[in-house]
């Protein structure tokens, strides 16, 4: 399988990424057991198909170690000169508190060691409590480490538009912000996307498939009971559906997406990803990978073989218009975590 050129995005001058990034939250332990050896071996299947970009974090269980092991095996099979084909975007999610140079440097050093690299491709920073302004100290120290060659690019995760403005005003250069963005959560379109366009930033979208709920599997099904939601993702995004408009409206959306999917001979998930990839400022969509448990390489590749037309959008929008205003109910991007 070879993905078309449209699957690639020039994320920065020196980083060309796949527009579907595979997320590694699913190896953190909240989505069932993962066999490490099998998981790392399956990463070759993704890479060989063209899915070369990974999204992970310091707190996603063994995710950073998986990348380190994958890189070592990749170099042994293909030569170290080809390691540049792999893009691995990690996160640092510290507890709020005093952010000294030593605290920041130790955290980054841990990620570098686990991933087996001398420089992180992208460090995505998250902060839980805006009332603690130490996040600006942390970003300043991260900028110093970037200048020293330990971080290639700085980015953010789940920051709101107001705090993006504060960071930009401090002269701190970040290249992207990772936010929840899906057909049911379009909050980034209110303020975030235009801010990013105006400041040469992009968005990395997660939650686009609602942990698997945005699929044929749930079309026509009764509302699932809590015991049926057996992963952290299913629980989280079922709560989002409830806030957005409820299961009945969600079924109407799935039915509409099924019409479009059948027309293009793709899946509901493909339509959901394609819709978000086409939104302003979006560089890529993060799709979870349950490595060694479930594999959707062939299906994900179909995203790059079709386009949504005006007729498709014309039947989606009236359904979305029936939903609640999540900006009013939750707040800006990331406010659900604060």
pLDDT at 296: 81
Higher-confidence residue of 267 and 337: namely 267
pLDDT of residue 293: 59
Residue 210: both structure tokens together = 């609602």
For residue 287, give the H/E element and its range: strand 282-288
- Of 103 and 233, the structure prediction assigns the larger pLDDT to 103
- Residue 268's SS3 state is helix
Whether residue 83 has pLDDT greater than 60? yes
Number of Cβ within a 10 Å radius of residue 297 = 17
* Average confidence score pLDDT of the chain: 95
Q: What is the pLDDT at residue 81?
A: 96
Q: What is the CATH number of domain 5-212+268-305?
A: 3.20.20.100
- CA–CA distance, 76 with 57 (Å, rounded to integer): 25
Least confident of 200-204, 290-294, 316-320: 290-294
pLDDT of residue 29 exceeding 80, the answer is no
| pLDDT band, residue 231 (cuts 50/70/90) | confident
Domain boundaries, the chain: 5-212+268-305
Pull the structure tokens for residue 11. Answer: 């994320």
107 Cβ contact partners less than 8 Å away, ≥ 6 residues apart: 58, 92, 94
Sequence-separated (6 or more) residues with CB below 8 Å from residue 326: 184, 185, 186, 187, 243, 244
Determine the average pLDDT of the residues in 122-135.
96
The three-state (H, E, C) secondary structure of 212-256, written as one string: HCCCHHHCCCCCCCHHHCCCHHHHHHHHHHHHHCCHHHHHHHHHH
Q: What is the pTM of this model?
A: 0.94
pLDDT at 38: 86
Q: Provide the pLDDT for residue 32.
A: 60
Model confidence band, residue 31 (pLDDT cutoffs 50, 70, 90):
low
Confidence of residue 1 (pLDDT cuts 50, 70, 90): low
* pLDDT tens readout for residues 109-126: 999 999 999 999 999 999
Q: Which residues contact 92 (CB under 8 A, 6 or more apart)?
A: 57, 58, 107, 108, 111, 123, 124, 125, 126, 142
Residue 195's pLDDT is what? 98
pLDDT, tens digit (0-9, with 9 covering 90-100), for 163-178: 999 999 999 999 999 9
Rounded Cα gap, residues 204 and 277, in angstroms: 10
Which tokens is 117 given? 């690299």
Pairing of strands 15-18, 8-12: antiparallel
pLDDT in tens, 257-302: 999 999 999 999 999 999 999 999 999 999 988 675 556 899 999 9
Quote the radius of gyration of the chain (alpha carbons, Å).
19
């Amino acid at each position: 399988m070879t993905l078309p050129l449209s699957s690639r995005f020039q994320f920065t001058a020196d980083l060309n990424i796949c527009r579907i990034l595979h997320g590694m939250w699913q190896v953190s332990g909240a989505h069932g057991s993962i066999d490490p050896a099998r998981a790392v071996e399956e990463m070759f299947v993704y890479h060989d198909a063209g899915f070369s970009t990974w999204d992970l974090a310091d707190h996603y269980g063994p995710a950073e170690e998986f990348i380190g092991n994958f890189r070592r095996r990749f170099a042994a099979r293909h030569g170290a000169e080809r390691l540049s084909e792999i893009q691995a975007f990690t996160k640092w999610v510290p507890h709020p508190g005093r952010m000294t140079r030593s605290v920041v440097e130790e955290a980054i050093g841990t990620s570098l060691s686990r991933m087996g690299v001398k420089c992180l491709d992208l460090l995505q920073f998250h902060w839980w409590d805006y009332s603690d302004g130490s996040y600006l100290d942390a970003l300043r120290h991260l900028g110093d480490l970037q200048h020293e060659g330990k971080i290639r690019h700085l980015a953010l995760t789940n920051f709101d538009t107001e705090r993006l403005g504060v960071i930009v005003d401090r002269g701190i250069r970040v290249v992207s912000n990772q936010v929840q963005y899906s057909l049911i959560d379009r909050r980034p379109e209110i303020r975030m996307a235009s801010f990013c366009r105006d400041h040469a930033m992009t968005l990395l979208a997660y939650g686009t498939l609602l942990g698997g709920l945005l699929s044929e599997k749930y079309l026509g099904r009764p509302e699932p009971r809590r015991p049926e939601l057996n992963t952290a993702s299913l629980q989280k995004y079922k709560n989002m559906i409830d806030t957005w408009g409820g299961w009945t409206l969600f079924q109407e959306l799935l039915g509409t997406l099924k019409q479009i999917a059948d027309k293009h001979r793709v899946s509901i998930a493909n339509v959901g990803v394609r819709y978000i990839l086409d939104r302003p400022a979006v560089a890529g969509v993060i799709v979870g990978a349950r490595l060694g448990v479930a594999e959707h390489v062939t299906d994900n590749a179909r995203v790059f073989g079709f386009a949504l037309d005006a007729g498709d959008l014309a039947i989606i929008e009236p359904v979305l218009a029936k939903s609640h205003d999540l900006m009013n109910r939750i707040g800006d991007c990331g406010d659900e975590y604060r």
